[in-house]
Structure 1
Amino acid sequence: MKKGAGPTRAIEALTSANIPFTVYEYEHSPRARTFGEETVEKLGVDPAMAFKTLLVRLNSGEYVAGIVPVSSHLSLKLIAKAAGAKSADMADPRVAERRTGYVVGGISPLGQTTEHRVFVDESCLNHETMLVSGGRRGLSVELSPLDLVEATNAHVADIQALN
């Protein structure tokens, strides 16, 4: 951890659940175009094992979190179907920040201030471990996909858009 920077709610959630994880921290560049690509580049990890967390609003008004590899896009049609809804739209970034308690680019599926149903792309199961945001820009945690599913009570589904 950086000097003076305490643990995030995401790290506290993993610690209190006794889930093994590894923290990776790097200096976030304000010029980074995409946060996920910056993570992959700065940490030198396989883009398929680094995941981003996106908040979407279902047509019912419910907000849910979708977790997909940083190298792909979330399919709004597939996450809506997985959640039992007719349609979904990306949440406004300000709404996502308010509901999760994290800034865009640092939204973690763990320790959100408002509880959301979580959907993680099934490709996570192709990896022994995966990276997700640790709760702020420049901070990632590596953990077992099964531990993430358990910690967030996630549904595993095909939610990636075909490129």
Structure 2
Amino acid sequence: MSGDASVAPGQALADRPEGFRRVAAALQQRGHPHPARWLEQSARTCAEAADALGVQVGQIAKSVIFRLKAAHKDEERAVLVVTSGDKRVDTAKVTALVGPVGRADADFVKSRTGFSIGGVSPLAHATPPVVLIDRELFRFDTVWAAAGHPNGVFAATPEQLVAMTGAPAADVTEAG
């Protein structure tokens, strides 16, 4: 894969954005075998990430954030659905699992997760969200998740994502 650089343990991260550094540190603390990787081109979309990595779009573990509705806006929590890049999240299925959810705007995503849209990682959040892992990811041996920045990714098995997040694997996508 040309145009990218892995961040190996001990490599200086000072020139990378804070979100990327936070995820790289979290992966290292968990003893994850695959370091965060910095792509020279942005991978804000699943198609961009798949092209940059030379993998199928379904292997991109995209992060979709919802707002878990509460009586007071300041009590609303983020719900993170980590889904296969070739699938669409079924909001009704998510609601059935965690309660009523709504759209999350960029400010909500940034304030609750500490990441900007396009770089939301499954781990190392500012405030721990409710997390669901799409069972469709288990079609693949390896998937690629965001590492805190649109240029950051890391490889994992779906089982490793479940273990790192403590989240259940669930049916959260639209049929078809």
How high is the TM-score relative to the length of structure 2? 0.80
Superposed, which structure 2 residues align to 1:6-155 within 5 Å? 8-29=21-42, 35-60=45-70, 61-83=76-98, 85=99, 87-155=100-168
8 Å CA contact retained: 1:51, 1:67: yes
8 Å CA contact retained: 1:22, 1:143: no
8 Å CA contact retained: 1:37, 1:71: no
> Percent identity at matched positions?
23
8 Å CA contact retained: 2:28, 2:35: no
SS in 2 for 1:136: coil
State the alpha-carbon separation in 1 of the partners of residues 166 and 86 from structure 2: 24
Which is further off, 107-116 or 56-65? 56-65
Taking a change above 3 Å as real, the CA distance of residues 3 and 41 of structure 1, as seen in their structure-2 partners, is: farther
Structure of higher RCO (CA pairs closer than 8 Å, 6+ residues apart): 1
Larger radius of gyration: 2
Offset at residue 22 of structure 1 (A): 4.3
**Considering only aligned residues, what root-mean-square deviation do their CA atoms show, in Å?**
2.1
Offset at residue 62 of structure 1 (A): 3.3
Offset at residue 107 of structure 1 (A): 0.6
**AA partner of residue 35 (structure 1):** T
8 Å CA contact retained: 2:64, 2:81: yes
Q: Structure 1 unaligned runs (5+)?
A: none
Deviations 1:43-86 (A, max 9, x none): 22111111111111233443211111122211111111122x1x
Name 2:15's counterpart in structure 1.
4
8 Å CA contact retained: 1:49, 1:131: yes
8 Å CA contact retained: 2:77, 2:112: no
**AA partner of residue 137 (structure 1):** P
8 Å CA contact retained: 1:51, 1:70: yes
How high is the TM-score relative to the length of structure 1? 0.86
8 Å CA contact retained: 1:131, 1:141: yes
State the alpha-carbon separation in 2 of the partners of residues 9 and 125 from structure 1: 26
